[in-house]
Amino acid sequence: MGNDSIFMGASTKQGYDIASKSREIVRSLIADKIKDLSPAEQRIVERIVHSTADPEYADIAEISSDFVDESIKAIKARKDILTDINMVKVGINKYKGEIKCYISHEDAIKLAKEEQITRAAAAMRVAHKEGFDGIIVIGNAPTALFEAINLVENEGMKAKSIVGVPVGFVGAAESKEALAKTKIPNIITQGPKGGTPVAVAVANSLIGLEKLD
């Protein structure tokens, strides 16, 4: 069924026809905005816009120059994918490696109470303690993103790349700005916009890109 089926996840002729039409619409809306991106980066932004029905993401998405290459290397090596919440985890599909989320882990719950931090941040610490090595995908919790940055930069957490797209008006923009200033391969969305659909779109795009590579 071609690349559009991979791009949108279509599996039937009807689904493929819808995917093709959707992609045409998305491309017509954002073609000028993404013309300077690489083909792989264009596919990621197209999928974000399709998933959110919001062309503004073509303006606010920022992708570090090494993000795609390092992420696809990790995908090919079947490195773990770590998410901030379970909703992001269940949205990621067709991955042959493991997808992990520790927000409901008893150690994260205990640590959050002891340290008076959010469970999302505590979950990042638990993941590091468990030897995480792979891609971090954060769509909701700025505290998880701040903690992930700290763990990678100061505690040796093995993050091949970070999808940092938390949503909200408290801390989200600041956490993404902090990530963009690091040397960690990353993608962010400027400002308060982001969320589960964006995080899932990026992760599934990377999995699809590995198949095309």
81 sits in which H/E element? strand 80-83
> In the annotation, is 50 catalytic?
yes
Choice among 23, 43, 47, 50 that is catalytic: 50
CB atoms within 10 A of CB 38: 13
Q: Residue 14: name the closest of 26, 2, 24, 5 by CA.
A: 5
For residue 149 the two structure tokens come to: 């940055």
For residue 58 the two structure tokens come to: 């073509």
Q: What is the rounded CA–CA span in Å between residue 94 and residue 83?
A: 16
DSSP string, 151-193: HHHHS--EEEEEEE---SSSSHHHHHHHHHTSSS-EEEESTT-
* Collapsed DSSP state (helix, strand, coil) of residue 94: coil
For residue 200 the two structure tokens come to: 């899932």
28 sits in which H/E element? helix 13-34
Residues 74, 134 contacting (CB under 8 angstroms): yes
9: left (phi over 0), alpha (psi -120 to 50) or beta: left
Which residues belong to the active site?
A: 50
